[in-house]
Structure 1
Amino acid sequence: MLIPKNELISVLQEFNPWWSGQVQADLPEWERTASQEIARWCEHQKSKRSLLLTGPRQVGKTTLFRQTIRNLLQSGIAPSQILYATFDHPLLKLAGMNKTIEAWEEIFPGTSDHPQFLFLDEVQFIPDWQVWLKHQVDFGKNRKIAITGSASPLRSGSSESGVGRWETIKLPTLTFREFLKLRQVEVPEMAEVSSLKQLIEHSPSDILQFQSGAKQLTPYFHDYLLRGGFPEPALEEDLQRCQRLLREDIVDKVLKRDMTALYGVRRIVEIEKIFLYLCYHDGGVLDISAISKELDGVKRHLLTDHLDLLEAAHLIYSLKPFGYGKEVLRGKSKVYLADAAIPGSILLYGQKLLEKPDRLGNAVETAFFKHVFTRYYHDQPTFSYWQSKGRKTYEVDLVAEIGERIVPFEVKYQDKLISDSDLKGLRLFMEEKSIDLGYVITRNAESLFITQPRSAKTGQYKEKLDAHIVGVPACLACYWLS
Structure 2
Amino acid sequence: MIATSSELITVLRQYNPWWRNASASDLPSWRRRAFHGILTWMQEPPAPRALLLSGARQVGKTTLFLQVIQELIDNGVPPTKILYATFDHPLLKLLGLDGLIKLWREFEPESDGIEYLFLDEIQTVRDWQTWLKLQVDFEKKRRIAVTGSATPLVTEGQESGVGRWHTLRLSTLSFFEYLQLKQVNIPPLPEINSLARLFDWTPAQFATVSADAAPLVAHFHEYLLRGGFPQSVVMGSVTAAQKLLREDIVDKVLKRDMTALFGVRHILELEQVFLYLCLHGGGILDMQTLCGDLELKKPTVNNFINLLEATHLIYKLPPFGYGKEILRARYKVYLADAAISPSVLLKGNSLLEDPIALGIAVETAFFKHVFARYYSRSAGFSYWRGKSDREVDIVAEVEGRLTPFEVKYRSQHTGAGELKGLTQFCETRQAPRGYVITREMQDFSILTLEKEVNTRTGKAPIRIAKIPAPLACYWLGKTELDELPGD
Partner residue in 2 for 1:194: 193
Instruction: Kindly provide the amino acid, as one letter, of the partner of residue 44 in structure 1.
Output: E
Report whether the alignment pairs 1:220 with 2:219.
yes
Alpha-carbon distance in 1 for matches of 2:460, 2:437: 20
User: Deviations for 1:260-319, whole angstroms, at most 9, x for unmatched residues?
Assistant: 000000000011000000000111111211110011x21100100110000000000001
Instruction: Kindly provide the amino acid, as one letter, of the partner of residue 381 in structure 1.
Output: A
**TM, length-normalised to structure 2:** 0.94
User: Deviations for 1:328-358, whole angstroms, at most 9, x for unmatched residues?
Assistant: 2321000000000000111111111001000
Partner residue in 1 for 2:302: 304
1:236-315 matches, within 5 Å, as: 236-295=235-294, 297-315=295-313
Instruction: Kindly provide the amino acid, as one letter, of the partner of residue 472 in structure 2.
Output: A
Instruction: Kindly provide the amino acid, as one letter, of the partner of residue 170 in structure 1.
Output: R
Alpha-carbon distance in 2 for matches of 1:156, 1:201: 42
Report whether the alignment pairs 1:82 with 2:82.
yes
Alpha-carbon distance in 2 for matches of 1:92, 1:178: 33
Alpha-carbon distance in 2 for matches of 1:45, 1:196: 30
Instruction: Describe the SS at the equivalent of 1:475.
Output: helix
Report whether the alignment pairs 1:44 with 2:44.
yes
Report whether the alignment pairs 1:474 with 2:469.
yes
Instruction: Kindly provide the amino acid, as one letter, of the partner of residue 23 in structure 1.
Output: S
User: Deviations for 1:446-474, whole angstroms, at most 9, x for unmatched residues?
Assistant: 111102113499xxxxxx96221000000
Alpha-carbon distance in 1 for matches of 2:148, 2:250: 18
User: Deviations for 1:231-250, whole angstroms, at most 9, x for unmatched residues?
Assistant: 00111121111100000123
Structure 1 residue ranges, 4+ long, deviating more than 4 angstroms after superposition? none
Aligned partners of 2:129 and 2:161 also within 8 Å: yes
Instruction: Kindly provide the amino acid, as one letter, of the partner of residue 468 in structure 2.
Output: P
User: Deviations for 1:109-149, whole angstroms, at most 9, x for unmatched residues?
Assistant: 123x3100000011121012111111111111200010001
Partner residue in 2 for 1:395: 391
Instruction: Kindly provide the amino acid, as one letter, of the partner of residue 316 in structure 2.
Output: S
Moved more, 66-75 or 150-159: 150-159
Alpha-carbon distance in 2 for matches of 1:380, 1:409: 18
Partner residue in 2 for 1:460: none
Alpha-carbon distance in 2 for matches of 1:234, 1:468: 37
Partner residue in 1 for 2:125: 126
Partner residue in 2 for 1:56: 56
Q: CA RMSD in A?
A: 1.6
Instruction: Kindly provide the amino acid, as one letter, of the partner of residue 331 in structure 1.
Output: A
Partner residue in 2 for 1:343: 341
Aligned partners of 1:191 and 1:206 also within 8 Å: no
How has the CA–CA distance of structure 1 residues 348 and 420 changed in structure 2, closer, same or farther, with 3 Å as cutoff? same
Aligned partners of 1:190 and 1:209 also within 8 Å: no
Structure 1 gaps of 5+ residues are 458-463
Moved more, 394-403 or 326-335: 326-335
Instruction: Describe the SS at the equivalent of 2:371.
Output: helix
Alpha-carbon distance in 1 for matches of 2:238, 2:68: 31
Partner residue in 2 for 1:17: 17
Instruction: Kindly provide the amino acid, as one letter, of the partner of residue 244 in structure 2.
Output: L
Aligned partners of 2:452 and 2:462 also within 8 Å: no
Instruction: Kindly provide the amino acid, as one letter, of the partner of residue 36 in structure 1.
Output: H
Instruction: Describe the SS at the equivalent of 1:99.
Output: helix
Q: 1:164 Cα shift?
A: 1.4
How has the CA–CA distance of structure 1 residues 141 and 302 changed in structure 2, closer, same or farther, with 3 Å as cutoff? same
Alpha-carbon distance in 2 for matches of 1:451, 1:47: 44
Structure 2 gaps of 5+ residues are 454-458, 478-487
1:352-391 matches, within 5 Å, as: 352-389=350-387
User: Deviations for 1:386-409, whole angstroms, at most 9, x for unmatched residues?
Assistant: 0113xx311100000001100000
Instruction: Kindly provide the amino acid, as one letter, of the partner of residue 8 in structure 2.
Output: L
Partner residue in 2 for 1:430: 426
Alpha-carbon distance in 1 for matches of 2:249, 2:82: 32
Instruction: Describe the SS at the equivalent of 1:467.
Output: strand
Instruction: Kindly provide the amino acid, as one letter, of the partner of residue 16 in structure 1.
Output: N
Partner residue in 2 for 1:445: 441
Alpha-carbon distance in 2 for matches of 1:29, 1:475: 25
Moved more, 99-108 or 197-206: 197-206
Instruction: Kindly provide the amino acid, as one letter, of the partner of residue 206 in structure 1.
Output: Q
Instruction: Describe the SS at the equivalent of 2:213.
Output: helix
Alpha-carbon distance in 2 for matches of 1:46, 1:269: 45
Q: 1:24 Cα shift?
A: 1.4
1:86-105 matches, within 5 Å, as: 86-105=86-105
Aligned partners of 1:381 and 1:401 also within 8 Å: yes
Aligned partners of 1:340 and 1:367 also within 8 Å: yes
Alpha-carbon distance in 1 for matches of 2:415, 2:429: 22
Alpha-carbon distance in 1 for matches of 2:224, 2:213: 15
Instruction: Describe the SS at the equivalent of 1:466.
Output: strand
Instruction: Describe the SS at the equivalent of 1:66.
Output: helix
Alpha-carbon distance in 1 for matches of 2:336, 2:357: 16
1:446-461 matches, within 5 Å, as: 446-455=442-451
Alpha-carbon distance in 2 for matches of 1:214, 1:415: 17
Aligned partners of 1:225 and 1:341 also within 8 Å: yes
Instruction: Describe the SS at the equivalent of 1:321.
Output: coil
Give 1:420's match in structure 2, choosing from 397, 404, 416. 416
**TM, length-normalised to structure 1:** 0.95
Q: 1:251 Cα shift?
A: 3.5
Alpha-carbon distance in 2 for matches of 1:402, 1:355: 36
Q: 1:46 Cα shift?
A: 6.9
Aligned partners of 1:413 and 1:443 also within 8 Å: yes
User: Deviations for 1:134-193, whole angstroms, at most 9, x for unmatched residues?
Assistant: 111111120001000100136753233332111011011000000000000010011111
Instruction: Describe the SS at the equivalent of 2:410.
Output: coil
Aligned residue pairs total 472
